[in-house]
Structure 1
């Protein structure tokens, strides 16, 4: 996992807000170097972002976590 710059995190946040249609989505700068970059919606952490660089190409993998207790009743 490569660390992301503050500028890169802000650019990623803008892209995800646009892509997912949610201005409440934030990509949070980790408190310490080497920690995971987290995605939150309205302040609630919903997942993590991983940066990958391969042969000069950079990509981002988003891992969203949904707890069963947050699902609507069947």
Structure 2
């Protein structure tokens, strides 16, 4: 994913979640995905998929049981 693509995704996520603290960063040595953070906290990965000329992105966020409130 190039810098322009990452900036477009970051802007989309900020609008969608109404959260300006979301940032999307390039992953070292990976060009098919980017890291998603809120502030300094890593929250997930966005994967790019190109199939038959169409591009889509999948956001994968793991939620640990210990992070959930009871």
What's the TM-score bracket when you normalise by the shorter of the two chains? 0.7 to 0.9
Give the match's secondary structure for 1:66. coil
In 1, Cα distance between equivalents of 2:28 and 2:51: 26
Q: Which has the higher contact order (CA 8 A, sep 6+)?
A: 1
In 1, Cα distance between equivalents of 2:32 and 2:58: 15
Residue 50 of structure 2 aligns with which residue? 53
Shift of 1:36: 4.2
Q: CA RMSD in A?
A: 1.5
Shift of 1:33: 3.8
- Long gaps (5+) in structure 2: none
How many residues get paired? Answer: 70
Structure 1 residues 38-74: Cα deviation after superposition (integer angstroms, max 9, x where no partner): 11112100110100011111100000111111111x2
Shift of 1:35: 7.3
Residue 62 of structure 1 aligns with which residue? 59
